[in-house]
Amino acid sequence: MPDNPVPEPSQPATPAAADAKAKKTAPRDTSPEEREAPPPVAEPAKKSALAIALGVLSAVLLIVVFVLASKLSARSSTITQDRNRSDQLQADAVVLRSQLDEAKASGAELQKQADESKTASAQDKAEMDKSKAESADLQSRLDKALAASASFQTQMEEAKVASLKHQGEVELASAQTAVMQTQLNKAKADLGQLQAQLTDSQALAADLQDKLAKAEKLIAQLQKTPSKK
């Protein structure tokens, strides 16, 4: 920017300077050509005003450029921050979407395990009911066998009493006793077999009851497990 001309401070006029000025301003004899010539143009004053105007315009343009550059820098910084924030939000959205997919997969797996546990629990319960029914049937058969064994025992005792009372019928009583003893032995064998089957059935029922309890506990834990969101 060009330097503005600084006007010199005015000084008080001295007598000598006043005389010189008067001599300079006094009219002098001029030739006709000089009187007809146009007065000279004040070019230095025009150049000084133009320089001042150009200086002011340059200063204004410099200020405008500085303001626009500041605004452009702030705008660029804001755009960069918005872009970074947008990228961060997109990255967070991707992470959240991944976590949501994992939560859905985990929930589906838990639901599948719960369904499998319910199915296994239903099967165990059905087997336990069947085992209970078989145990009840075996108990009924065991009671009948015990009743038959008691009846055979009574008959054998009666046969012994009859053999003692009737000496003449010893052989027949002995034969009947042998037959009844055989039947009693068979009844006892059947009774032992039924007793063993009942013991196995009760053990199976206890095992199924334990499996059912574990399955119900697993179902309860799976149902209480919170799913990810």
48, 5 Cβ separation under 8 angstroms: yes
Q: Are residues 52 and 130 in the same domain?
A: no
Contact 202, 135 (CB under 8 A): yes
Other Cβ atoms within 10 Å of 177 Cβ, number:
18
The verdict on residue 145 lying in a domain is yes
CA angle 140, 192, 135 (to 5 degrees): 35
* Whether residue 55 is found in the same domain as residue 167: no
- Our count of domains for the chain comes to 2
What integer pLDDT is reported at residue 63 of this predicted model? 94
83 found inside a domain: no
Which region, left, alpha or beta, applies to residue 9 given φ > 0 means left and ψ of -120 to 50 means alpha?
A: beta
Question: Distance between CA 150 and CA 187 in Å, rounded?
Answer: 10
pLDDT at 2: 41
Same domain, 149 and 173: yes
pLDDT digits (tens, 9 = 90+) for 152-207: 788 888 877 776 776 666 677 678 788 888 988 888 888 888 888 889 888 888 88
Domain assignment present for 98: yes
For residue 138, tell me if it sits in a domain: yes
In the chain, the largest separation of any two C-alpha atoms, in whole Å, equals: 207
Q: What pLDDT sits at residue 172? A: 74
pLDDT of residue 157: 82
Tell me, what's the pLDDT at 5? 43
In a domain, 39, yes or no: no
Residues 93 and 72 grouped into a single domain: no
One pLDDT digit (tens) per residue for the chain, 229 residues: 444 444 444 444 444 444 544 444 444 544 544 444 455 444 667 778 888 888 899 999 999 999 999 889 888 889 988 888 888 898 888 998 889 898 888 888 888 888 888 888 888 888 888 888 888 888 888 888 888 888 878 888 887 777 677 666 667 767 878 888 898 888 888 888 888 888 988 888 888 898 888 888 888 888 887 654 4
Give residue 71's domain range.
Answer: 46-76
Residue 37, φ and ψ in degrees, nearest 5: -70, 140
Judge contact between 110 and 227, C-beta under 8 A: yes
Q: What is the mean pLDDT of the chain?
A: 77
Helices (H), 30-42: 32-36
Q: Do residue 192 and residue 167 come from a single domain?
A: yes
116 and 72 in a common domain? no
